[in-house]
Amino acid sequence: MDADVIVLGAGMVGVSTALQLRRQGRSVVLVDRRGPGEETSYGNAGIIQREAVEPYGFPRDLPSLFRAARKGGLDVHYHARALPALFPRFLRYWLSSSPGRYRPLAAAHARLIEHSIAEHAPLIAQAGAEHLVRREGLRFGFRDTAAFEREARDAERIVGEYGLECAILDGAQLQAAEPALLRPLAGAVHWLDSWSVRDPGALVGLYAALFEAEGGTFLRGDARSLRPQGAGWEVRCADGPVRAGEVVLALGPWADEATRALGYRLPLFVKRGYHRHYRTAPSLNVPLLDAQNGFLMAPMERGLRITTGAEFAAHTAPATPVQSAGAERIARQLVPLGEAVEAEPWLGARPCTPDMLPVIGPAPRHKGLWFHFGHAHQGFTLGPATARLLAEMMSGQTPYVDPTPYSPGRFAGSRA
């Protein structure tokens, strides 16, 4: 089978890329070993985070570093045996988080986040996915009054700098908005611009169905079979080989393996995370982040989904769901959690770069090869926005956002 473009990876980023390229008039084959939205895009918190204009920086104060090192909270966990391989990436991440370097990186990140809702909205309508989407925002809840007041002041700064909307709720206002809470909190910052999705994997699936309805093709295949073929590329699929002049790697946490096989040495790493659903009645009305414990509770089709913070480990290492167990224990003090839906917590991985920006653009040393990965926590949020950017680049149009900060060429390992 021949096509113009092969897109490898059928998560939110890959499906959005395939759809945008199809709308540019290209013949597109989307390839994944599993169905659309069944890997990383299934396991996120389901938030289109319009408020996430500033990416997660590496902690630079000693108390936070010491707390993470001794595994003193639920927000960070790590496998000690993974640290030697991660150390060079962590060093670059720490340097990128310095005040002088962080501000321009955050500005580049915000330029993408700015378009997240605007790019999702028409796809949601066209895919018939309105029933999955709620527009009530996202709350960051705080137990400690001093931490709540600090966050409220910072929220006011972000509102002023980025033109967002938020409401500051004291403890009584939060309790009135969320009657299911079993104990009072100091307060919450309610970000009003963000949307939530009751089944993230289903939304990706509906976007993929829209892609196929518009003439695209989805096939099961193995990205590891990618190889140059003549003037283009070939991938083996269940129905036979597929050939195309161009290929997009939208493989999320598997991008490191795929790019290394082609001779690139990009400073990629993963943050692993867990989730589990619980039958809960009454449940929350709006997703709530327990900001001081580092886990999020989101009402979903299958129950209340509790998602954890970051676990630093090898991508393929066995699951160690200590954060999930800790989050469940604390969540039971906040909401009336029922029994768990799954026998074990789900485990996935977020694809990260040390400068907190995704990798979007042409591979420096292979004609017709394009990179589209490294979205960290925001692949679900940014998929349609960065897909539009890449599709415009591939079609020779003027990109609607300057692509320079996200270029693969910014990493020395892409050129070696």
Q: Is the pLDDT of residue 389 over 60?
A: yes
Q: Is the pLDDT of residue 356 over 60?
A: yes
Give residue 263's region: left, alpha or beta (phi > 0; psi -120 to 50).
Answer: left
Q: Mark whether 74 and 208 lie in a shared domain.
A: no
CB neighbour list of residue 284: distance below 8 Å, 6 or more residues apart = 178, 180, 297, 298, 299, 304, 335
Domain presence at residue 322: yes
Tens digits of residue pLDDT in 108-137: 999 999 999 999 999 999 999 999 999 999
Q: Mark whether 207 and 77 lie in a shared domain.
A: no
Q: Mark whether 186 and 322 lie in a shared domain.
A: yes
Domain harbouring 82, CATH code: 3.30.9.10
pLDDT bin (cut points 50, 70, 90) of residue 61 is confident
Q: Average pLDDT of 400-406?
A: 98
Q: Average pLDDT of 341-347?
A: 96
Q: Is the pLDDT of residue 273 over 60?
A: yes
Q: Is the pLDDT of residue 413 over 80?
A: no
The three-state secondary structure class of 67 is helix
Residue range of the domain that includes 255: 2-44+201-265+355-414
Percent of the chain with pLDDT over 90: 93
Q: Mark whether 151 and 14 lie in a shared domain.
A: no
pLDDT at site 414? 64
Tens digits of residue pLDDT in 74-89: 889 999 999 999 999 9
pLDDT bin (cut points 50, 70, 90) of residue 213 is very high
Q: How many domains does the chain have?
A: 2
34 token code pair: 């599993």
Q: Is the pLDDT of residue 254 over 80?
A: yes
pTM exceeds 0.85, yes or no: yes
Query: In angstroms, rounded to a whole number, what is the distance separating the alpha carbons of residues 215 and 227?
Result: 25
Q: Mark whether 151 and 182 lie in a shared domain.
A: yes
Q: Mark whether 289 and 380 lie in a shared domain.
A: no
Percent of the chain with pLDDT over 70: 99
Cα distances (Å, whole numbers) of residue 176 to 106, 173, 226, 269, 285 = 35, 5, 55, 41, 11
Q: Mark whether 185 and 86 lie in a shared domain.
A: yes
Q: Mark whether 331 and 281 lie in a shared domain.
A: yes
Within its chain, how far is the Cα of 62 from the centroid? 28
Name the residue among 137, 118, 135 with its Cα closest to residue 191.
137
Cβ(247)–Cβ(226) below 8 Å: yes
Cα distances (Å, whole numbers) of residue 296 to 190, 206, 284, 307, 328 = 14, 25, 11, 5, 11
Q: Which of 303, 327, 352 is the last residue of a domain?
A: 352
pLDDT bin (cut points 50, 70, 90) of residue 415 is low
